Structure 1
């Protein structure tokens, strides 16, 4: 795992078929609880979503999904976005978070998971989509949802009817790959990976 203490929120992890599950007991000694909130420690919802993201990272590192030819590199997995987040319960020291993530879509370089956290039988938090990139370093042009969607639904370069080799707005899907270190021969360098747009 690229995450380490004091910012690792997985204690026991199990991968079972098409899902990964984990637990994390809130000890009360977490550094951020001193101020969240003063004299009333509440585990932040944003950290719960971080924990689900970390569980998605673990899943990618194990490379168990049928669409993965090999496990992802730990130094190449990054959070992209999260949608449909709902928080239903306040979590406090002594609670044990029971987490599960399931891959919804996985196509290099993007993995999309759904995730849920419970404490006992009570639903605590959920996310409809947690998006992680892996083994690729894109630059998204702009900050709009449309720009981000190019990571999820690439636009073909050819066959689009406009005859100029672009997606109609003058760009090639909004992505500009950065060079990737040559020490990993399975990851193409700049200009050779057309899998996103072909």
Structure 2
């Protein structure tokens, strides 16, 4: 199995994903096996805007934001699959199955985002996704996504 070690930094991520602060949830891609899997990271800081209300007395990263980080990582794997016009392409989340949260994610944690391609059928990509902190599973789920061309305005 050929694992490509990449310097897939934030600048490259910004060319592939349309998300921007405060909704960009991937800081770096550390490994990618085209057509198979991707490993990325998200550094969780106390400055994240969602911590103001979730929860002020003990900040906890919302589970939906962990799922969003996994979906963005899956998008990066999808975009590595084929040549696309990234500026005119949007990646939509269409389903989540079996989502489980097993560990609290707090400021100072580093989320390791592991996504594996499972199948592609009728325009839907399916992935197995796991987010870990210090080797412990924080969240796991099956994600379904689709890629659509944006209409010209």
Tell me the TM-score normalized by structure 2: 0.79
How much is the aligned-residue C-alpha RMSD, in angstroms? 2.0
> Where is the strand percentage greater, Structure 1 or Structure 2?
2
User: Match for 2:131 among 111, 117, 120?
Assistant: 117
SS of 2:22's partner is coil
Structure 1 segments of 4+ aligned residues over 6 angstroms from their partners:
none
The alignment status of 1:54 with 2:68, answered yes or no, reads: no
Higher relative contact order (CA 8 A, sep 6+): 2
Aligned mates of 1:125, 1:119 — CA distance in 2: 10
2:11 — aligned with what? none
The runs of 5 or more residues in structure 2 that have no matched partner are 1-16
Per-residue CA deviation, residues 98-139 of structure 1 (Å, 9 max, x unaligned), is 011011111352101110011112111100x20101136xxx
1:132 — aligned with what? 145
Aligned mates of 1:60, 1:81 — CA distance in 2: 16
The runs of 5 or more residues in structure 1 that have no matched partner are 137-179, 183-198
> In the alignment, is the contact (CA less than 8 A) between 1:26 and 1:96 conserved in 2?
yes
SS of 1:28's partner is coil
Aligned mates of 1:80, 1:109 — CA distance in 2: 11
Which stretch shows the higher mean deviation, 70-79 or 21-30? 70-79
2:102 — aligned with what? 88
The alignment status of 1:33 with 2:90, answered yes or no, reads: no
Tell me the TM-score normalized by structure 1: 0.62
Give the 3 Å change call, closer, same or farther, for CA 121–43 of structure 1 in structure 2.
same
User: Match for 2:114 among 85, 97, 100?
Assistant: 100
Aligned mates of 1:62, 1:80 — CA distance in 2: 20
Aligned mates of 1:28, 1:48 — CA distance in 2: 15
Kindly tell me the number of residue pairs found equivalent between the two proteins: 134
